[in-house]
Structure 1
Amino acid sequence: MRIEVGPVARSRSLAALVCACLLLTGCPARGGSATAPVLHGCAVPSRFAGQQVDRLPITGKRVALTFDAGANADGVPSIRATLRRTKVAATFFLTGAFVQRYPATSRRLAGRDLVGNHTMTHPDLTTLTDRRVTAQVRRAEATIRATTGEDPRRFFRFPYGARTDHLIGLVNGLCYVPFGWTVDTLGWEGTSGGQTEATVVARVLAAAEPGAIVLMHVGSNPDDGTTLDADALPTIIARLRDRGYHFVRLDRVMSADP
């Protein structure tokens, strides 16, 4: 028996195929409402393949401020206000779970600054199969794109910094360059972990060098509720500027094309 498929069913089938294409391959939809820019034939630049970038390959006094967003958003209002007031650009690595929990906040971050992929649920990727790693990256990518309208590809950070050469190659194949850090402020440890606003500032200043990547977090410490990175940010920016440093986003070293 042949089943006739009407125009409505055909339309729904086509829509499902387009959605599957976007989620699984990153190919662009045609027609309909506007979508985020998609990197056609996306590939990482050969100069970054097979490595994690822990310091930007640039000369001159330039540093990159980066923030991981995976737990809560307690420090975001202060961080955003500081960045706007000081006219400093930054990069935010978002987990898909964070975007789902804080969609409006995520859109505001992506509306001004660069956003990257920090996996869906922040697992240690070294404990997962390749299939599950790929799912973590792709699910986060689709969530960030659907919620913020921005494509996070090219910019990835491994949860906990845990990686292997094999995993670096895997995320390269998904169109991402993994970015680590030159210095971790340890602000996420909070006062309960022995840190203070002063220690956060001191760690950044001690590691300052051309191309340095600074790791901070947007959330508060779950035990003491402190937001040391957000609190220290104005002083960090002022002290680095006093030393002649300027601030860049990570795309400063990454063109839109391979």
Structure 2
Amino acid sequence: MPADDVRRRTLALAIAGALVVLAVALALFRPAPAAGPPLPTPSGASDAPTATQPIRSASASADAAPGTAPPAETDTPEAGGTPVEPPATIPPAGPSEVPDEPVAPPAPPAPPLPEFPETLRGQDLTVVPGAGPNVALTFDAGANAAGLAGILSTLAAKGVAGTFFLTGNWAASNPQGVAQIAAAGHRVANHSMTHPGFTGLAGDAILNEVRSAEQAILAAGADPRPLFRFPYGERDARTIAAVNALGYVAVRWTVDTLGWKGTSGGASVQSVADRVQAGLQPGEIVLMHIGSNPDDGTTLDADALPQVIDRIRAAGYGFVTLDALLAR
């Protein structure tokens, strides 16, 4: 081989070797490329969460069977929702934390039930047995109280005590009237709650009428026991037995003044006094009324009362309340 060819071949090999060395050096000392966005992957191929994929709890992922849909997301911290605060619990107050509350005194016991003689059972009395020359003035209250002030004034002025049969409705509507009657020393009695005819009432209705009136009158400050008057005077053996069983003796009347009819019904002050005089007898029970006539507004019983008392006394009679029945 000529010397010139050898030299060219040797130079080419030297250059090629230098290039190889340079390439190796560049590969060894090449800096790492800057981090770029992640390469896209096929849909569903990655388990890593993305910005729109909430992180499920480990237990929820473990409970899901392969190939089944994951459980519905719940609003829990693990599901990426708003944390739900557990309901606040208030610890029970200790003895020192309970405020002292006033303890109401026990209600006083009801007054003992007055007893009546067995000889009065089964009766609706029309006179006071054994009363001698004495008259019992009785006043029914079931409507208004128009005549009450006049009646109480007359009884006080004449020094006479009477017996007042009150309905429960009247007592509830006129508690001051009940208090005035009791404060003046008069006897209070039961005239039912709503003033119905009793013979058409069942046993439980009779019980309710009597007991409700009793409670209303007691609440107003008087005790009606054990005297009862049937509304309209309507009674029979069954209803008398029913009120007896409730602790009451039934009391009717000897004479009704008919003052409740008013002048529009043909009554007058004179006719009231005359009827009382005509029925005068030992133990007479006189029926009068507190309320006014609904048509003409008259209070004939209240107006006639002074004359009634004077004429009874002029005939030699005195006055008793129906408590005289209980003294036998």
- Provide TM-score, normalisation by structure 1: 0.84
Higher helix share: 1
Residues 181-216 of structure 1: CA deviation (Å, up to 9, x unaligned): 000000000001000000000000000000000000
Paired residues, number: 228
Equivalent residue for 2:111? 37
The equivalent position to 1:47 in structure 2, one of 90, 96, 119, is: 119
Aligned CA-pair RMSD: 2.2
Moved beyond 3 Å, runs of 4+: 31-36
| 1:103 is the counterpart of 2:186 | no
Equivalent residue for 1:124? 197
CA distance in 2, matches of 1:253, 1:155: 9
Over the matched positions of the two proteins, sequence identity in percent amounts to 51
SS of the residue 2:165 aligns to:
strand
The Cα of 1:50 is off from its aligned counterpart by: 0.5
Whether the aligned pair in 1 keeps the contact of 2:167 and 2:192 (CA below 8 Å) is yes
| 1:173 is the counterpart of 2:251 | no
SS of the residue 1:100 aligns to:
helix
Whether the aligned pair in 2 keeps the contact of 1:36 and 1:151 (CA below 8 Å) is no
The equivalent position to 2:220 in structure 1, one of 127, 147, 156, is: 147
SS of the residue 1:88 aligns to:
coil
Equivalent residue for 1:247? 319
Whether the aligned pair in 2 keeps the contact of 1:38 and 1:151 (CA below 8 Å) is no
CA distance in 1, matches of 2:230, 2:131: 26
| 1:226 is the counterpart of 2:298 | yes
The Cα of 1:60 is off from its aligned counterpart by: 2.4
CA distance in 1, matches of 2:131, 2:168: 34
CA distance in 1, matches of 2:283, 2:192: 25
Could you list the runs of 5+ residues in structure 2 that have no partner in the other structure? 1-97, 99-103
CA distance in 1, matches of 2:292, 2:205: 29
The Cα of 1:85 is off from its aligned counterpart by: 0.4
Matches within 5 A, 1:1-258: 32=106, 37-39=111-113, 43-111=115-183, 112-148=185-221, 150-255=222-327
Residues 16-55 of structure 1: CA deviation (Å, up to 9, x unaligned): xxxxxxxxxxxxxxx646566322xx55321101111110
Q: Which amino acid aligns with 1:244?
A: G
Structure with more relative contact order (C-alpha pairs < 8 Å, separation 6 or more) = 1
Bigger Rg, which one: 2
The Cα of 1:254 is off from its aligned counterpart by: 0.6
Whether the aligned pair in 2 keeps the contact of 1:36 and 1:145 (CA below 8 Å) is no
CA distance in 1, matches of 2:207, 2:169: 16
